[in-house]
């Protein structure tokens, strides 16, 4: 039995090579399920993949139905009267080539009608055929010649119609064809030439139409409006893709030439967008140009990912550059044609680790998206075209970039979070005159090399940490007639500020806004200040020696002047509205004395704790003081209180707190020496 199986397998292989049997029969014989008893090939017919002998009664019925004059091992001739070859009719047939009678009336070749006819070598499609069905000649591995009669009326080449025809090397597509279906020539690995008759009416080339072919060049007819997804993908030999003059191409599918070796492309003016991944991994693509009058509007995410583009000039019609559209490209220069069309740039348009060194942002740009140029450490020069319309610079737009100087256009209204954060080379930051900037986001300018900045009058808020950690920042000024309402938490903390004049428009100094400014010694306020709140730690650990608080201030927050070791004078403008001095407000300061306004109602716990130099606390006439909380002067070694009536209170009673039982005029405190 084992010997019979081996003999059957060998015999099947020999007969397969000689073309005497179909693949199905060879496999069947190789299984050794029946004895080796070959029938002469001229007696064999394959119908729907099954063997039918001429002597079989079914043969005459089949032949009469489809007009066959010859069948099997020889040419297959189809009678003129046949109008349709139905689906799978000759699948896995063993004939060498197919001919059609003169004046054939054939209109359609059905789905998979001749698929897997592995011996088929040539075919000439009659002029009257309108459609080639799906997979109609797929896997005809020896099909080397496909011709179309003159004046062909063919309109549609179905999906996979000639896929995996390994020996097909060239084909001329009739002018009448309007659609090349998905995968219609995919895996035709010998296909190197595809031509189109003059006056081609082709409108659409389907998905993967020519993937894995041997194409070296391809000219897209002018009539084509769309190229499907991956239509030329994985064509390793494809080095030249051109578009016929007057091209009407509007749409490209995703990854159309993925992993091809095309060095340069010039796109027709009619093209409207680059879809995602359309040229991804085209490592040979170094030059990209556009016809004059281009209507290109969008470059989608990762459209040119990992190509070899170094210099790019984008047409004026482009409206959006989407996220990471040029990711992985070694671009050193991007330019834009002049235009009035608004432009929006998305996130990380060049991906990570780009080679871009300089950039001129066109005037028509309206938005720079979040992380637009993040991490571009080689990008040292960024300029804006005159008449810029830029409105918004997104969060982290230039984060961790190599920008050394920049002038923000007057049109910018918002600078996002961490926009210029970690720009260690940024030493000069200016704003155009008549700036419309309203908000500066948190961490926006955390730049270690920035030495000075002038805030435009239009700015209404300085965000959290917006200038935090600017170690070299020594000068901060504000334009006249400022609209600034608040200085955000930690906005200027840990900077090298020496002095600052706070605009009259400011209403709040938020938590630690000047905290740890160890060199800040002078703080002044413009006349008619509207400041109401000095929040927690606002000047904590600064080098203030003197400050005069505006009359508008109502609260001194927790630790607002704590650890100001050089603070020796604190005064209040006349008609002060201060009511509360909160917990630890002057903790560990060096105040020798202070006169609190009559409006003060409450001194909270530890408000003057550890003030070892404090000798005198006075209250203005008509004091409204209601309460001194316990430990308000903790570790300040006070001795006694002298109320207005001349009586004195022991120190221990005051240490437990005090409430209004008689008006206070003077509080004497000393360090016990």
SS (H, E, C) 592-615: CEEEECCCCCEECCCCCCCCCCCC
Q: Is 213 left (phi over 0), alpha (psi -120 to 50) or beta?
A: beta
Nearest C-alpha neighbor of 529 from the set 580, 478, 596: 478
Query: Where is average pLDDT lowest: 70-74, 284-288, 512-516?
Result: 70-74
* 60 contact partners, CB below 8 Å, separation of at least 6: none
Share of the chain above pLDDT 70, in %: 83
Q: What is the pLDDT of residues 430-454, one digit of tens each?
A: 999 999 999 898 899 988 899 999 9
576 confidence band (pLDDT: 50, 70, 90): very high
Is residue 620 within 8 Å of 644, Cβ to Cβ?
Answer: no
CA distances from 265 to 241, 284, 288 (A): 7, 11, 5
3-state secondary structure of 359: strand
CA pseudo-torsion sign 645, 649, 654, 656:
negative
Q: Kindly list the domain boundaries of the chain, sorted by start residue.
A: 1-38, 263-356, 379-521, 532-673
Pull the structure tokens for residue 314: 């984008």
Q: Kindly state the average pLDDT of the residues 12-33.
A: 36
pLDDT at 639 > cutoff 60: no
Residue 637: predicted pLDDT: 60
3-state secondary structure of 547: strand
3-state secondary structure of 652: helix
Distance CA 361, CA 369 (A): 13
- Report the CATH number of the 532-673 domain: 3.80.10.10
Is residue 416 within 8 Å of 395, Cβ to Cβ?
Answer: yes
CA atoms within 13 A on the CB side of 639: 12
Residue 508: predicted pLDDT: 95
Beta bridge partners of 477: 454
Is residue 372 within 8 Å of 350, Cβ to Cβ?
Answer: no
Q: What is the pLDDT of residues 80-105, one digit of tens each?
A: 899 999 888 888 888 887 888 888 99
Distance CA 129, CA 131 (A): 6
Pull the structure tokens for residue 27: 């496999």
pLDDT at 621 > cutoff 70: yes
3-state secondary structure of 271: coil
Is residue 190 within 8 Å of 169, Cβ to Cβ?
Answer: yes
Residue 352: predicted pLDDT: 67
657 confidence band (pLDDT: 50, 70, 90): low
The side-by-side arrangement of strands in the sheet containing 664-669 is: 593-596, 616-619, 664-669, 638-643
Residue 304: predicted pLDDT: 86
Residue 571: predicted pLDDT: 96
CA pseudo-torsion sign 31, 32, 38, 44:
negative
CA distances from 107 to 98, 154, 162 (A): 16, 9, 18
420-423: long-range contacts, CB 8 A cutoff, minimum separation 24: 420/444, 420/445, 420/446, 420/447, 421/396, 421/445, 421/446, 421/447, 422/446, 422/447, 423/398, 423/399, 423/447, 423/449
Distance CA 130, CA 342 (A): 46
Query: Where is average pLDDT lowest: 405-414, 566-575, 608-617?
Result: 608-617
Q: 179 or 351, which is more confident? A: 179
Distance CA 285, CA 117 (A): 39
61 confidence band (pLDDT: 50, 70, 90): low
Share of the chain above pLDDT 90, in %: 56
Residue 50: predicted pLDDT: 42
Residue 112: predicted pLDDT: 93
Phi and psi torsions of 251, nearest 5°: -130, 135
Phi and psi torsions of 108, nearest 5°: -150, 140
Pull the structure tokens for residue 416: 């996002």
Distance CA 540, CA 563 (A): 6
Neighbours of 347 (CB within 10 A): 22
Is residue 407 within 8 Å of 401, Cβ to Cβ?
Answer: no
Nearest C-alpha neighbor of 132 from the set 94, 177, 68: 177
Nearest C-alpha neighbor of 391 from the set 361, 421, 418, 420: 361
70 confidence band (pLDDT: 50, 70, 90): very low
Query: Where is average pLDDT lowest: 201-215, 341-355, 645-659?
Result: 645-659
Residue 632: predicted pLDDT: 85
3-state SS track over 125-187 = ECCCCCEECCCCCCCCCCCCEEEECCCCCCCEECCCCCCCCCCCCEEEECCCCCEECCCCCCC
Residue 74: predicted pLDDT: 60
Q: What is the pLDDT of residues 145-188, one digit of tens each?
A: 999 999 999 999 999 999 999 999 999 999 999 999 999 999 99
CA distances from 525 to 258, 277, 551 (A): 63, 57, 11
Distance CA 609, CA 585 (A): 9
* Enclosing H/E stretch for 62: helix 57-66
Nearest C-alpha neighbor of 194 from the set 167, 161, 171, 165: 171
Distance CA 557, CA 515 (A): 13
Q: 258 or 432, which is more confident? A: 432
pLDDT at 196 > cutoff 50: yes
467 confidence band (pLDDT: 50, 70, 90): very high
Phi and psi torsions of 5, nearest 5°: -65, -45
Neighbours of 665 (CB within 10 A): 16
Fold of 379-521: 3.80.10
Residue 660: predicted pLDDT: 53
Distance CA 350, CA 348 (A): 5
Neighbours of 640 (CB within 10 A): 15
Phi and psi torsions of 196, nearest 5°: -125, 140
Pull the structure tokens for residue 304: 């040119």
The mean pLDDT of the chain is 83
pLDDT at 314 > cutoff 80: yes
User: At CA 542, angle to CA 536 and CA 544, rounded to 5?
Assistant: 105
């Amino acid at each position: 039995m084992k010997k019979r199986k081996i003999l059957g397998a060998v015999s099947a292989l020999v007969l397969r090579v000689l073309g005497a049997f179909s693949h199905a029969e060879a496999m069947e014989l190789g299984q050794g399920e029946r004895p080796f008893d070959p029938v002469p090939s001229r007696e064999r017919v394959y119908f729907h993949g099954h063997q039918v002998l001429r002597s079989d009664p079914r043969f005459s019925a089949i032949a009469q139905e489809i007009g066959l004059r010859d069948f099997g091992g020889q040419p297959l001739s189809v009678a003129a009267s046949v109008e349709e070859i139905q689906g799978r009719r000759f699948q896995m047939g063993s004939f060498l080539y197919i001919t059609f009678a003169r004046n054939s009336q054939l209109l359609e070749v059905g789905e998979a009608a001749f698929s897997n006819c592995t011996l088929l070598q040539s075919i000439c499609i009659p002029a009257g055929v309108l459609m080639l069905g799906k997979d109609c000649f797929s896997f005809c591995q020896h099909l080397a010649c496909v011709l179309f009669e003159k004046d062909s009326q063919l309109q549609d080449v179905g999906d996979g119609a000639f896929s995996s025809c390994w020996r097909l090397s060239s084909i001329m597509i009739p002018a009448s064809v309007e659609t090349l279906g998905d995968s219609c020539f995919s895996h035709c690995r010998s296909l190197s030439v595809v031509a189109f008759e003059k006056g081609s009416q082709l409108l659409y080339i389907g998905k993967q139409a020519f993937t894995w072919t041997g194409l070296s060049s391809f000219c897209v007819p002018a009539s084509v409006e769309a190229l499907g997804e991956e239509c030329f993908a994985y064509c390793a030999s494809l080095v030249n893709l051109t578009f016929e003059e007057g091209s009407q191409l509007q749409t490209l599918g995703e990854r159309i030439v993925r992993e091809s070796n095309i060095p340069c492309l010039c796109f027709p003016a009619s093209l409207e967008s680059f879809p995602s991944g359309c040229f991804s991994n085209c490592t040979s693509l170094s030059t990209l140009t556009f016809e004059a009058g281009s209507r290109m509007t969008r470059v989608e995410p990762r459209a040119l990912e990992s190509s070899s583009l170094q210099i790019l000039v984008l047409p004026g019609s482009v409206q959006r550059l989407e996220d990471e559209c040029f990711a992985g490209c070694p671009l050193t220069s991007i330019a834009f044609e002049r235009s009035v069309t608004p432009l929006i740039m998305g996130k990380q348009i060049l991906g990570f680790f780009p080679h871009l060194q300089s950039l001129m942002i066109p005037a028509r740009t309206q938005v720079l998206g979040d992380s637009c140029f993040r991490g571009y450490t080689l990008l040292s020069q960024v300029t804006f075209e005159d008449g810029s319309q830029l409105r918004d610079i997104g969060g982290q737009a230039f984060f961790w970039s190599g920008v050394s100087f920049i002038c923000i256009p007057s049109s910018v209204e918002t600078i996002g979070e961490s926009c210029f954060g970690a720009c260690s080379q940024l030493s000069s930051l200016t704003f155009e005159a008549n700036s419309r900037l309203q908000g500066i986001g948190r961490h926006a300018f955390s730049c270690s090399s920035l030495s000075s900045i002038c805030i435009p009058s239009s700015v209404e808020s300085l965000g959290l940490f917006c200038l935090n950690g600017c170690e070299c920042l020594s000068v901060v000024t504000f334009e006249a007639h400022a609209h600034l309402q608040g200085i955000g938490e930690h906005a200027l903390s840990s900077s090298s500020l020496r002095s600052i004049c706070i605009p009259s428009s400011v209403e709040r100094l938020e938590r630690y806004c000047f905290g740890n400014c160890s060199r800040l010694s002078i703080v002044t306020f413009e006349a008619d200040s509207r400041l109401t709140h000095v929040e927690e730690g606002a000047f904590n650990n600064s080098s203030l020696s003197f400050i005069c608080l505006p009359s508008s201030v109502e609260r001194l927050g927790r630790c607002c002047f704590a650890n100001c070791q050089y603070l020796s004078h604190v005064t209040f403008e006349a008609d002060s509205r201060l009511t509360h001095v909160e917990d630890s407000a002057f903790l560990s300061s060096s105040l020798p004395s202070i006169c609190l306004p009559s409006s003060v109602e409450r001194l909270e716990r530890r408000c003057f704790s550890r003030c070892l130099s404090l000798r005198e606390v006075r209250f203005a006439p008509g004091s409204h003081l209601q309460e001194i909380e316990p430990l308000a002067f903790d570790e300040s070694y006070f001795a006694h209180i002298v109320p207005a009536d001349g009586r004195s209170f022991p120190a221990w009673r005051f240490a437990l707190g005090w409430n209004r039982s008689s008006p206070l005029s003077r509080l004497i405190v000393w360090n016990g020496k």
